Amino acid sequence: MTENTEKKTGITRRTLLKTGTAAAGLAAGSGAITGFPHIWAQNPITLRQFGTGVSNLNAVAQKCKEDLGITLEMTAMDSDAAAQRAVTQPDSYDIADVEYWILKKVFPAGVIQPMDVSKLKYYDKIVPLFITGKLNPESEIAQGTAPHTVGFVEKPEDKAFAKEPTQWLTMVPTIYNADTLGIRPDLVGREITSWADIMDPAYKGKSAIINIPSIGIMDAAMIMEAMGEIKYGDKGNMTKEEIDKTIEFLIKAKQSGQFRAFWKTFDESVNLMSSGEVVIQSMWSPAVAAVRSKGVPCVYQPLKEGYRAWGGGLGLAKHLSGAKLDAAYEYVNWYTSGWVGAYLNRQGYYSACMETAKQYMSEDEWGFWVEGKPAQGDILSPDGQVMEKAGTVRDGGSFDDRMGKVSCWNSVMDEDRYMVRRWNEFIAA
Amino acid sequence: MAVMIEDTTAAAPAASRGRSARLPRMAPYLQALPLTLILGLFLLLPIIMIAVVSFWDYDFAMMYPDFMTLNYEETLGSWVTWKTYLNTLKYAVLVWAITLFTGFWVAYFLAFYVRTTGMQMVLFLVCTVPFLTSNIIRMISWIPVLGRNGLVNSMLIEGGFISAPIEWLLYSDFAVVLAMVHLYTLFIVVPIFNTLMRIDRSLIEAARDAGASDWQILWNVIIPLAKPGMAIGTIFVVTLVMADFSTVQVMSGGQSASVALMMKNQMSLMQYPAAAANAVVLLAVVLLMVAGILRVVDIRKEL
């Protein structure tokens, strides 16, 4: 912080003293800087954002600087590191860009301050999935850490989540998607309709799953249930017995040579698929797009058991107050006002405020990405590359079709530590 | 270092001769100070910290200072640990045997068959050329070679030797060992080459004059004299393999585990105390192995 302000103002003895005091105030901890709002008003405001999701989109930082004059310093990290940073270094960030299951771990530590919904300009535009848990009034609430279950608190000081929507939002939802299996349509040789198909003996040595325990276990659960091996009480919160059964099943499959590999990073999953080492595997939607952009056919196959969904949002650090807090609200309001939403939609994710995003998308883009209509012209990625040729239809179809068939959300289990230990046994077995 | 200090202090005059004489007596200590500081700060202190942390408690975000042996109980009491150690040892033994064999013959060729020193240096530098690029690149470049649709398989299929691609070339123990041999052979070539170059050629002539066959010269003269170099190379290779995680992860496709990979998994899940306990156990195992090697071969001859 000090460095930035100094650079931008040029150092006179006076500013140095002021920034020095402000920095000391910051270091001293929360709330201590209320006496110096004029300093923040004089200097360009910087918000430090860290997280897993969209924290690595430079385009967002650039546009934010243009529109608001706020400098965004973004740090991207993997989800476990993000969870740890959120709790252990609460003064090192202003905005936490994390997934909801991480929020569930982190929020009880009291490092995130809830947001007053009356200050959120586009609160009423947020899709009901994040408010009531239902996309449409008649939809069923999915298992796992559904965002609405950790979305609200009764009072700002509360550490426990509220059961119903309230005045206080823990995190503004921004990005989410429905994940499924990726397949090589040219190599699987038949129709893929179920999560169970990944265990088909025909794909022995040609399948892969993700080796991030908290996500891999969910994919495994979808597979197990689809095969009729087990019926979980809640896939997102397994009992020890359910974990044991799932892991033992995986170990058996591994030892019989069902899997070709376990991937940990985005590029690994892309390479496995495009080289033909693997024909069916856990995948993320941008990875499917990356395989296709190499000219290799790849489908993000909708499956009859439904999707595994994930969602993330922006949370405000506890220490924010005064002008910085105002700036953070301004940033969140700008974020939900449409430009970023359109950007995310164009990447194949979904924006939490669909209506506002629509204004920033062409009719064809909106039709392709959200309504599931065939593309009229070529569909371009945000950086201008052709992602889909005219005439293509998005895998899984429309927003309602995809997000309406969520079977389970990424989650954190009560038996988290036990699950991780058993997962490591599976990898070592 | 310690020996040197003792020698010089003993050599210094025993009686103090006032102020001016005190400085020379301090000199050896001053000379030893920088290295002591560096090793103390960057080696000893971190190891002590790791040992301390290995007794701490933890949850997903925090570590809590404590003195509990649970981390060790979980580490040593789990079949995963034992299996992983066995697996890592298996890699170590395989890679060591192969690199020692190939390394010795490469060094032998360089030392005895290449006649001019200039050519020896040129060929020696050629050996190091792959090291101009990073470890990871050298390892990853095996993937397009060994893959199902990779270079080897497509050549064999197009040549009509096989009808279906060989699956075990990639994402297997074979791939791991192959990549490790590729990465680590030079570490055993260098010390052996060094010892072979120091062998007095007249010893070989004498052996020949005494009627020894080539095989006898190799077995009774060259190999015994090369042992210190082999031991040093062995220490390099064994410690490198025992601590390897990236090769195992990439080349086995995440299917195999090594001790360091297990630690890396724990660290990425923020289970630092568990990883620290693992590190202490690994350190003990590797130190025992090195001690074993040093008992068999006296490497001081080399130094």
Q: In this complex, do A262 and B255 lie within 8 Å of one another by their Cβ atoms?
A: yes
A5 pLDDT more than 70 = no
Angstrom distance (rounded) from CA A291 to CA A187: 14
Nearest partner of A188 among A305, A302, A282, A299, judged by Cα: A299
Task: Tell me the β-bridge partners of A409.
Answer: A144, A309
Chain A residues lying within 8 Å of B150, measured CB to CB: 275
Looking at the domain assignment, is residue B41 inside a domain? no
Does residue B265 belong to the interface with chain A, where contact is any CB pair within 8 Å? Answer: yes
Extract the runs of DSSP E, i.e. beta strands, from A273-375.
Answer: 280-282, 299-301, 307-317, 350-351
The per-residue pLDDT for A8 is: 39
Does residue B154 belong to the interface with chain A, where contact is any CB pair within 8 Å? Answer: no
Does residue A416 belong to the interface with chain B, where contact is any CB pair within 8 Å? Answer: yes
Domain range for B215 is 79-301
Q: In this complex, do A277 and B171 lie within 8 Å of one another by their Cβ atoms?
A: yes
The per-residue pLDDT for A212 is: 84
Mutation target among B86, B256, B262, B265 for the A interface, most CBs of A within 10 A: B265
The per-residue pLDDT for A172 is: 95
Three-state SS at B279? helix
Chain A residues lying within 8 Å of B270, measured CB to CB: 80-81, 83-84
List all residues of chain B from 171 to 190 with a beta carbon under 8 Å from chain A.
Answer: 171
Looking at the domain assignment, is residue B167 inside a domain? yes
pLDDT single digits (tens) A250-304? 999 999 999 999 998 888 899 999 999 999 999 988 899 889 888 899 999 999 9
Looking at the domain assignment, is residue B58 inside a domain? no
Nearest partner of A381 among A417, A349, A407, judged by Cα: A349
The per-residue pLDDT for A347 is: 87
The per-residue pLDDT for A29 is: 40
**Number of domains, chain B:** 1
Say how many CA atoms lie within 13 Å of A393 toward its Cβ: 11
Q: In this complex, do B61 and A263 lie within 8 Å of one another by their Cβ atoms?
A: no
Looking at the domain assignment, is residue B37 inside a domain? no
pLDDT single digits (tens) A41-91? 446 789 999 988 666 788 899 999 899 989 999 988 888 788 888 988 999
Looking at the domain assignment, is residue B234 inside a domain? yes
pLDDT single digits (tens) A375-427? 999 998 888 888 888 999 999 999 999 999 999 999 988 888 789 888 888 88
The per-residue pLDDT for A23 is: 43
The domain spanning residue B181 has which CATH number?
Answer: 1.10.3720.10
Does residue B255 belong to the interface with chain A, where contact is any CB pair within 8 Å? Answer: yes
Average pLDDT taken over every residue of chain A? 86
Chain B residues lying within 8 Å of A425, measured CB to CB: 78-80
- Residue B262's alpha-carbon distances to A231, A423, B72, B243, B257, in angstroms, are 31, 11, 14, 11, 7
Asked if B153 and B169 touch (Cβ cutoff 8 Å), the reply is yes
Q: In this complex, do A275 and B147 lie within 8 Å of one another by their Cβ atoms?
A: yes
Tokens of residue A172, six digits: 């503004």
Does residue B74 belong to the interface with chain A, where contact is any CB pair within 8 Å? Answer: yes
List all residues of chain A from 256 to 315 with a beta carbon under 8 Å from chain B.
Answer: 259-264, 271-272, 275-277
The per-residue pLDDT for A55 is: 66
Q: In this complex, do B78 and A420 lie within 8 Å of one another by their Cβ atoms?
A: no
Span A114-123, mean pLDDT?
94
Nearest partner of A236 among A427, A415, A109, A52, judged by Cα: A415
Tokens of residue A8, six digits: 């931008």
Angstrom distance (rounded) from CA B27 to CA B32: 9
* Angle between helices A416-428 and B79-108 in degrees, nearest 10: 40
pLDDT single digits (tens) A212-243? 888 899 999 999 999 999 999 999 999 999 99
Q: In this complex, do A84 and B60 lie within 8 Å of one another by their Cβ atoms?
A: yes
Asked if A142 and A178 touch (Cβ cutoff 8 Å), the reply is no
The per-residue pLDDT for B303 is: 52
pLDDT by residue for chain B (303 residues), tens digit each? 344 444 444 444 444 455 556 678 888 899 999 999 999 999 999 999 999 999 998 877 678 898 999 899 988 988 888 989 999 999 999 999 999 999 999 999 999 998 898 999 999 889 888 888 888 888 889 999 999 889 999 999 999 999 988 989 999 999 999 999 999 999 999 999 999 999 999 999 999 999 999 999 999 999 999 999 999 999 999 999 999 988 998 899 888 889 998 888 888 777 889 999 999 999 999 999 999 999 988 877 655
Put simply, whether the predicted model's pTM sits higher than 0.90 gets the answer: no
- Residue A70's alpha-carbon distances to A351, A383, B37, in angstroms, are 22, 23, 45
What is the least distance, in Å, from the CA of B82 to any CA of chain A? 10
The per-residue pLDDT for A257 is: 92
**If residue B193 lies in a helix (H) or strand (E), which one and from where to where?**
helix B173-198
What is the least distance, in Å, from the CA of B129 to any CA of chain A? 28
Angstrom distance (rounded) from CA A218 to CA B81: 25
Looking at the domain assignment, is residue B104 inside a domain? yes
A10 pLDDT more than 50 = no
Closest CB to A428: pick one of B80, B150, B170.
B80
Q: Which domains does chain A have, with CATH numbers?
A: 1-39 (no CATH), 45-178+310-358 (3.40.190.10), 181-305+399-428 (3.40.190.10)
Q: In this complex, do B254 and A211 lie within 8 Å of one another by their Cβ atoms?
A: yes
Closest CB to A263: pick one of B60, B74, B254.
B254
Looking at the domain assignment, is residue B146 inside a domain? yes
